[in-house]
């Protein structure tokens, strides 16, 4: 798997496997094992997914060396402060049964993000985290975080798909040395993505699925992407995107699909902020 070099020189795979919404313990554990067997080396979880234990169990069963894996988890909102971040991180590390994680992200741009960030800087200095970053941060929130802290985020994990292409945010992040990472690259199939005539036609041209076209499009934009499936044949399909290249015409056709609107919700919607910040989890 090809990698990208983060702003602290850490190598991160350009395609990863996510476990969001994998709530069945056995299914999640089996999916992670299958993903690693298929060739995925980046595994992305979060405290709020409540499946870190299953991910850790799966990692224990693989024969792949720890230094060949890239494990990401995330800080949930209720502990987004200095002391809370340190405590929640240790709980995540214990559930994952690891000595360190490769990437630790602030999951949402609310709460005392500056206090949490200072805690993460210290955890990184202590060798417990190789790279630190954020998720769902708009450029204005990132600019604020960068201005008042020593370490700039290495990664910003945001929604990127053909209907929400982040045409301002992605280059802004890249211009400041922050690696964009796409969650929900398929928009969870919303808006008929898998049947979209433009994506279908491009796929037919190369003998590829719509999913492969989307992941290749993200790959060619220099964005890390997270594909999710519990089916091994789909995992194999999703990782097989390195044997073709989209033309500039293909890229323009996909660019025309952008609506600049989330397929899910706005992180600037006060009602959504209230819901997210009120979501207390046993993490």
Rounded (5°) CA angle 237-242-244: 95
Instruction: Name the token pair of 79.
Output: 């502990």
283 residues of the chain, pLDDT tens digit each: 899 999 999 999 999 999 999 999 999 999 999 999 999 999 999 999 999 999 999 999 999 999 999 999 999 999 999 999 999 999 999 999 999 999 999 999 999 999 999 999 999 999 999 999 999 999 999 999 999 999 999 999 999 999 999 999 999 999 999 999 999 999 999 999 999 999 999 999 999 999 999 999 999 999 999 999 999 999 999 999 999 999 999 999 999 999 999 999 999 999 999 999 999 999 9
Instruction: Name the token pair of 47.
Output: 């405290």
Q: Yes or no: say if 138 and 108 are a contact pair by the CB < 8 Å rule.
A: no
Instruction: Name the token pair of 140.
Output: 């204005």
Q: Tens digits of per-residue pLDDT, 213-228?
A: 999 999 999 999 999 9
Q: Yes or no: say if 81 and 110 are a contact pair by the CB < 8 Å rule.
A: no
So what's the pLDDT on residue 1?
A: 82
Beta strand pairing status for 3-5 and 11-13? antiparallel
Catalytic residue positions, numbered? 49
Strands (E), the chain: 3-5, 11-13, 15-18, 42-44, 70-75, 101-106, 129-135, 155-159, 179-183, 224-227
Among candidate residues 145, 126, 147, 137, the one with its CA nearest the CA of residue 180: 137
Distance of CA 36 to CAs 23, 101, 139, 186, Å? 19, 17, 33, 21
Q: Residue 108 belongs to what H/E stretch?
A: none
So what's the pLDDT on residue 85?
A: 99
* Cβ neighbours, 10 Å, residue 4: 16
Annotation-wise, does 168 bind a ligand? no
* Cβ neighbours, 10 Å, residue 1: 13
Q: Tens digits of per-residue pLDDT, 42-51?
A: 999 999 999 9
* Cβ neighbours, 10 Å, residue 67: 7
CATH of 3-277, one of 3.30.230.10, 3.30.70.260, 3.10.20.30, 3.20.20.100: 3.20.20.100
So what's the pLDDT on residue 63?
A: 95
So what's the pLDDT on residue 230?
A: 94
User: Distance between CA atoms of 282 and 237, rounded to whole angstroms?
Assistant: 35
Q: Yes or no: say if 16 and 103 are a contact pair by the CB < 8 Å rule.
A: no
The DSSP secondary structure of 19-44, one letter per residue, reads -TT---HHHHHHHHHHHHHHT--EEE
């Amino acid at each position: 798997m090809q990698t990208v070099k983060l702003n602290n020189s850490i190598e991160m795979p350009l395609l990863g496997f996510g476990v969001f919404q994998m709530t069945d313990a056995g299914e999640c554990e089996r999916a992670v094992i299958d993903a690693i067997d298929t060739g995925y080396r980046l595994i992305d979880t979060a405290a709020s997914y409540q499946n870190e234990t299953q991910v850790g169990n799966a990692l224990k069963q693989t024969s792949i060396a720890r230094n060949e894996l890239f494990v990401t988890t995330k800080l949930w909102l209720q502990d987004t402060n200095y002391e809370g971040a340190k405590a929640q991180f240790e709980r995540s590390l214990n559930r994952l049964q690891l000595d360190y994680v490769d990437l630790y992200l602030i999951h949402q741009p609310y709460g005392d993000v500056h206090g949490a960030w200072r805690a993460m800087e210290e955890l990184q200095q202590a060798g417990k985290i190789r790279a630190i970053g954020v998720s769902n941060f708009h450029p204005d929130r990132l600019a604020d975080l960068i201005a008042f802290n020593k370490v700039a985020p290495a990664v910003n994990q945001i929604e990127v798909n053909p209907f929400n292409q982040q045409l301002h945010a992605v280059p802004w992040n890249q211009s400041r040395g922050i690696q964009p990472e796409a969650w929900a690259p398929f928009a969870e199939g919303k808006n008929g993505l898998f049947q979209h005539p433009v994506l279908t036609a491009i796929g037919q041209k190369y003998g590829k699925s719509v999913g492969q076209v989307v992941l290749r499009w993200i790959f060619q934009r220099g964005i890390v992407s997270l594909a999710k499936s519990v089916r091994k044949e789909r995992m194999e399909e999703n990782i097989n995107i390195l044997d073709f290249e989209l033309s500039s015409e293909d890229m323009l056709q996909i660019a025309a699909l952008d609506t600049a609107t989330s397929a899910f919700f706005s992180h600037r919607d006060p009602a959504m902020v209230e819901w997210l910040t009120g979501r207390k989890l046993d993490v």
